[in-house]
Amino acid sequence: MTRWPLPDPMQAALAQAQLAAKAGEVPVGAVVVRDGAVIASAHNAPRTLADPTAHAEILALRRAAEALGQERLEGCDLWVTLEPCAMCAGAIAHARIARLYYAAPDPKGGAVAHGARVFEYPQCHHRPEVYSGMGEEAAAGLLRGFFRGRR
Amino acid sequence: MTRWPLPDPMQAALAQAQLAAKAGEVPVGAVVVRDGAVIASAHNAPRTLADPTAHAEILALRRAAEALGQERLEGCDLWVTLEPCAMCAGAIAHARIARLYYAAPDPKGGAVAHGARVFEYPQCHHRPEVYSGMGEEAAAGLLRGFFRGRR
């Protein structure tokens, strides 16, 4: 049963996650949307890029900022297939992302609804609106399949 | 009164912070040390680079990883002039930094000894040893001077 169609940006983020899996990276994908259009896409790539910060969210935020020529992404939304970690939640705050949409929760590594809950402290200078759950089954399925295949 | 000489890596991080101020960026500097040698240096540069993630720590970690050709910096230490924020603390954990040395505390934006305290949660998969305070006066003085000059 399809209760509602998955929004295009989350479909684009899931497509990025599939590209990550093909590259041997943990399948997480992200896109940045501005005025209804995707302005940056990325997938997890720390091994490929030899960069410990190369999570999908960080790469998408950096590419969006580069595209706009400014460090702040006011009015932009980030769509990502997995709950952001502390590093990525902090970057989302620094970038002034308006709305964060994430698909699957991450009890083991997340820092939005779990663990450090980065957005809930006064030391976090900007809090996006946060929406979660759309696309969760597809996003979590990609992760399960990836880790099952590596065992 | 000089109680002890400031360790060379913190002096190098302070020199980076001074370069940041000259570039009109909030004066924070960082270096990555391996086997007693500085392998990467950086200063805060989000405006210059139009990159919301371009904190001194992130840039230093990325440069060190690039220099070593690997995403993990096991056995490496990070020296930074200010307490890391949530983004940078998360990146330090992902990079598997062995020891973190920071000069000045940051009650307003820090996430090591303040706020989200990123390293204290099980969702943080690696905790560096943390040492703070050496070089605090110099680091805090640079920041005070910078913000005083901009008012």
Question: pLDDT-based confidence at A150, cuts 50/70/90?
Answer: confident
Q: For an interface test with B, give the residue of A71, A76, A82 to mutate (most B CBs within 10 A).
A: A71
Which residues from A are below 8 Å from B45, CB to CB? none
Question: pLDDT-based confidence at B5, cuts 50/70/90?
Answer: confident
Is the pLDDT at A2 greater than 60? The verdict is: no
For B48-67, b/e burial (b = at least 16 CB within 10 A) is ebbbbbbbbbbbbbbbbbee
User: How far apart are the CA of A127 and the nearest CA of chain B, in angstroms?
Assistant: 13
For residue B120, the chain A residue with the least C-alpha distance is: A116
User: How far apart are the CA of A4 and the nearest CA of chain B, in angstroms?
Assistant: 32
pLDDT for B149? 84
Which residues from B are below 8 Å from A44, CB to CB? none
pLDDT digits (tens, 9 = 90+) for A16-54: 999 999 999 999 999 999 999 999 999 999 999 999 999
Q: How far apart are CA A95 and CA B26, in angstroms?
A: 16
Which residues from B are below 8 Å from A73, CB to CB? 52
pLDDT digits (tens, 9 = 90+) for A67-106: 999 999 999 999 999 999 999 999 999 999 999 999 999 9
pLDDT for A82? 98
Other CB atoms within a 10 A radius of the CB of residue B144 amount to 12
Is the pLDDT at B151 greater than 80? The verdict is: no
pLDDT for A74? 97
Q: How far apart are CA B41 and CA B77, in angstroms?
A: 12
- Report the SS3 class of residue B119: helix
Strand runs (DSSP E) across chain B, as ranges?
A: 29-34, 37-43, 77-82, 99-104, 129-132
- Average pLDDT in the B30-46 region? 98
pLDDT for B75? 97
User: How far apart are the CA of A51 and the nearest CA of chain B, in angstroms?
Assistant: 5
- Average pLDDT in the A111-123 region? 97
Q: For an interface test with B, give the residue of A123, A124, A126 to mutate (most B CBs within 10 A).
A: A123
Which of B130, B35, B145 has its CA nearest to residue B88? B130
Is the pLDDT at A1 greater than 60? The verdict is: no
User: pLDDT higher for B4 or B109?
Assistant: B109
Percent of chain B clearing pLDDT 90 (strictly above): 95
For residue A74, the chain B residue with the least C-alpha distance is: B52
- Cβ contact (<8 Å) for A89 and B86? yes
Q: For an interface test with A, give the residue of B112, B123, B127 to mutate (most A CBs within 10 A).
A: B123
- Cβ contact (<8 Å) for A46 and B94? yes
Question: pLDDT-based confidence at B2, cuts 50/70/90?
Answer: low
- Cβ contact (<8 Å) for B111 and A125? no
Q: Which pTM was predicted? A: 0.96
Is the pLDDT at A3 greater than 70? The verdict is: no
- Average pLDDT in the A60-71 region? 98
Please count the residue pairs, one from chain A and one from chain B, whose beta carbons lie less than 8 angstroms apart. 152
- Cβ contact (<8 Å) for A85 and B90? yes
Is the pLDDT at B3 greater than 70? The verdict is: no
Secondary structure element (H or E) that encloses residue B75, with its range: none
Question: pLDDT-based confidence at A149, cuts 50/70/90?
Answer: confident
pLDDT for B57? 98
- Report the SS3 class of residue B77: strand
For residue A85, the chain B residue with the least C-alpha distance is: B90
pLDDT digits (tens, 9 = 90+) for B77-95: 999 999 999 999 999 999 9
Half-sphere exposure for A80 (CA within 13 Å, toward CB)? 28
- Cβ contact (<8 Å) for B115 and A122? yes
